[in-house]
Structure 1
Amino acid sequence: MDIRQLNFAYVPKSGQLQLHEIDCRIPEGKITTIIGPNGCGKSTLLGVMSQNYKPTGGEVILDGKDIAKYKAKELAKKLAVVHQQNEAPPDMTVEQLVRLGRMAHKGLLSPQTDADEEAIEWAIASTNLLPKRSLPLEQLSGGEKQRAWIAMALAQRTPMLFLDEPTTFLDIYYQIEVLELVRELNASHGLTIVMVLHDMNQAIRYSDQLVVMKDGRICHQGTPRDIMTAELIQTVYGVKAIVREEENAGLNVVAIGI
């Protein structure tokens, strides 16, 4: 995916841009994480990249074609999105939710095929939800619910997966569980993954590439080891930090003041 000279405003004629001249390339088969301060445009950029928002300028190119020219079902076979906040009937089971991911491949009344069943089984197994498949969503923990939504996206069988703040509202155990799942999906199945995260150290640990944003612009992009410096953190976040190599944790950021 290539993002070229992208601009976006919620009110196109207002002149108040939320995204300014965004240029970025999403490498195939890698994990790219968008980071930056609150309100900098991270989720907005992901929304434009997934055609939830229409850009006011520039283009997003997927497999050589502007995503604006994809029909909804056609795009849904290319990329799947797990939003920051998701809603479903509380009595819906995990398997029922995951089955909704197959809608991109069929009409509303089309019968289930062997390919559908295979995709559903794979999605549930890949997210370690086989023992929970018959449970209603209301009986799941926060981490299990997030894995269920990821399973629904996986059932689309797309080569790209977008995750908007997948660790929000989760305690640290389930944050790590979800991020380990993301890394496994990338390593074992070659998925190209783009996610938005707040935690810098989690982004460093679980990403091949970082896209750092501030005030609706991309100010740095590259591998964590190449770009993550104390100077960058001071410029982007306004805090003093130490970036150091730790024996068991790898590259690590420690904030020390403002």
Structure 2
Amino acid sequence: MEIKDITYSYDKKTNHLENISSKIDQHKITTIIGPNGSGKSTLLGILANSYAPNKGQVMIDGKQLHQIKPKELAKKIAIVHQQNSAPADMTVEKLTSYGRLPYKSIFSNQTPDDQQAVEWALQKTNLIAKKTKMISELSGGERQRAWIAMTLAQSTPYLFLDEPTTYLDIYYQYEILELVKQLNSENGLTIVMVLHDINQAIRYSDTIMVMKDGKLIKKGTPEQVVTSELIQEIYGVQAVVKMDEESGLYILPLGTQ
């Protein structure tokens, strides 16, 4: 996936994204970080074709996103939004089955391929035992896994997640991130996600994209990107960046300037 000179504005007065060019590497985990209002979720929305850029283009498999029919694009890209809603009385299995809609015509019934994809998605997210449960009966972490299960049932090579750990306690945050890592390492999914926690981004990313004020400031491996100077520049926070054998690379914030 290639990002070519993207500029985007909600109101045509202020650019929320400005002249962004980059590349999303296949079969890798790319994480977008930056302060609130930096354009992280907007950029993810552009990559998912939720918004159309005012200038520039996003290419996937040599084609511009807007040239691909929605149903065909839904077979390439699945996205888990920051906030999701479903009827409280919907079961986990039913929600997951909606991931198969790109493969169906209006009047078609569920096929063996559909059922296999749903079962696989429930297994990967450890929800087989919960598949008859209502969405309203799930914990926050289980609910997030149910939405991921729906996207996995789409059988796409790209999976986008917008702040997937928001509103979750630390146990469920790492449960979700370990699932993301597994989907990448075992199933080869190309994953792009937005995270707030820099240490989580370091631990679970092959590539980090750093944004501020709608601009892409830096991109590279965690070791290349995360420095005390960058944390100060982007967040206005003094931090020590450390490396040890047990924890790997991590940051320790010391306070604001």
Give the TM-score taking structure 1 as reference length: 0.98
Which of 133, 136, 140 is residue 135 of structure 1 equivalent to? 133
User: Does the alignment pair 1:51 with 2:49?
Assistant: yes
Cα shift readout 1:107-139 (whole Å, capped 9, x = no counterpart): 232111111111001100000101101100111
Q: CA deviation at 1:36?
A: 0.2
Tell me how far apart the structure 2 counterparts of residues 257 and 112 of structure 1 sit (CA, whole Å): 55
CA shift for structure 1 position 220: 0.3
Q: Deviation at 1:40?
A: 0.2
Name the counterpart of 1:226: 224
Instruction: For residue 247 of structure 1, report the CA deviation from its aligned partner.
Output: 2.8
What is the distance in 2 between the residues matched to 1:84 and 1:202?
A: 17
SS in structure 2 at match of 1:187: helix
The CA deviation at 1:24 is: 1.0
C-alpha distance in 2, partners of 1:106/1:248?
48
Q: Which runs of 5+ in 1 are unaligned?
A: none
1:6 aligned partner, one-letter code: I
Find 1:80's aligned residue among 75, 78, 81: 78
Deviations 1:227-247 (A, max 9, x none): 110001111111110000133
| Aligned pairs for 1:81-160 within 5 A | 81-160=79-158
CA RMSD of aligned residues (A): 0.7
What aligned pairs does 1:189-208 form with structure 2 within 5 A after superposition?
189-208=187-206
Alignment of 1:35-46 (within 5 A): 35-46=33-44
Q: Hey, what does 1:6 align to over in structure 2?
A: 6
* Secondary structure in 2 matching 1:245: strand
Aligned counterpart, 1:253: 251
- Percent identity at matched positions? 56
* In structure 2, distance between residues paired with 1:133 and 1:102: 16
The alpha carbon displacement at 1:15 in A equals: 2.9
Give 1:228's aligned amino acid: V
Which residue pairs with 2:59 in the alignment?
61
Identify the range of structure 1 (238-247 vs 148-157) with the bigger mean alpha-carbon deviation: 238-247
Give secondary structure in 2 for the equivalent of 1:92.
coil
The letter for the 1-side match of 2:217 is: C
Rounded Cα–Cα distance in structure 1 between residues aligned with 2:89 and 2:245: 46
Q: Secondary structure at the match of 2:156?
A: coil
Shift of 1:210: 0.2
Unmatched tracts of structure 2, length 5 or more:
none
Alpha-carbon distance in structure 1 between the residues aligned to 2:193 and 2:60: 17
Cα displacement string for residues 47-76 of structure 1 (whole angstroms, at most 9, x for unaligned residues): 011011110000000010000101110100
Residue identity opposite 2:131 in structure 1: R
1:25-46, Cα deviation, whole Å (9 max, x unpaired): 0000000000000000000000
SS across alignment from 1:125 = helix
Runs of 4+ in 1 over 3 A off after TM superposition: none
